[in-house]
Amino acid sequence: MEPQTNTMSEILHHLDAGVLTLTFNRQDKKNALTSAMYGQLADHLEHAAHDSQARVLVFQGQDSLFTAGNDVSEFLQRPPADLDAPVFRFLRAVADFPKPAIAAVCGPAVGIGTTLLLHCDLVYAGDNALFSLPFVNLGLCPEAASSLLLPLRIGQAAAAEKLLFGEPFAADEAQELGLVNRVLPPAEVNAYAQAQARKLAAKPLVSLTVTKSLLRKPQQGAVHAVMAEEAGHFERMLKGPAAREAFSAFLAKRKPDFSGF
């Protein structure tokens, strides 16, 4: 099949040699993800899950930017209404994706930019990568089943520190914790991820999918239940006064005042 690319979209997609690459392409907004972008991502994942030509998935940004997370302005104006919202559709699609998924991360990886990695099988990061889970600081709670998956990946104490404080942490610490497989110079990350993806794409797909299924089996039964529980809290808190104060302060470039919440 000929490589496929859509250069006008905020989510670029490219299929070549069995590797489907999805690139965040909203650099003027730090690749902040909108409802429309989540819908595109969900569409690509749902199609690729059943497309025999797509054998391995790669998420990437640019060599200085992965994603700033959710688009704050849109979340304030049009918060997700229910579990059928594009953001939750995407989260279910990535959690259920049956084929190997790789992330190439450089620069900021905020919120979903970090929790997404818990659903990827391999993560390669630039030494400029900066991970953060600022949910509490935004008056919110974890999402993407991260309250389950992060302790399983990096341990209970480390997960509590990252989720309760929401402070950024660098690529070398992420590798020490087990969130990242390898740290590279930023200019090499996307190419390295592509090379690894092509190596996987040359292997028998049935072996890859069964191996991934077995690796994920201990947690898979709980992921959807935890994701739904988190989403219920997230939707309610997103409309609450603490989140409104946090987002308003963010947009006004001031320190939030949570003394009343």
Give 53-70 pLDDT, tens digit per residue: 999 999 999 999 999 999
Residues 34-72 as b or e (16 or more Cβ within 10 Å = b): bbebbbbbbbbbbebeeeeebbbbbbbbbbebbbbbbbb
Per-residue H/E/C for 101-143? EEEEECCEEECHHHHHHHHCCEEEEECCCEEECCCHHHCCCCC
Q: Domain 4-185, CATH 3.90.226.10 — does that match?
A: yes
Q: What is the pLDDT of residue 8?
A: 67
Overall size of the chain counted in residues = 261
Domain boundaries, the chain: 4-185
Give 123-168 pLDDT, tens digit per residue: 999 999 999 999 999 999 999 999 999 999 999 999 999 999 999 9
CA quadruple 131, 232, 119, 94: dihedral, nearest 10: -120
Give 82-134 pLDDT, tens digit per residue: 788 999 999 999 999 999 999 999 999 999 999 999 999 999 999 999 999 99
Q: How confident is the model at residue 220 (pLDDT cuts 50, 70, 90)?
A: confident
Q: How confident is the model at residue 171 (pLDDT cuts 50, 70, 90)?
A: very high
Task: Find out whether 193 and 106 touch, Cβ atoms under 8 Å.
Answer: no
Percent helix, percent strand, percent coil in the chain, to nearest 5: 50, 15, 30
Q: How confident is the model at residue 208 (pLDDT cuts 50, 70, 90)?
A: very high
Strand 11-16 and strand 108-110: the pairing is: unpaired
Give 12-51 pLDDT, tens digit per residue: 999 999 999 999 999 999 999 999 999 999 999 999 999 9
Evaluate if residue 2 carries a pLDDT over 50.
no
Q: What is the pTM of this model?
A: 0.94
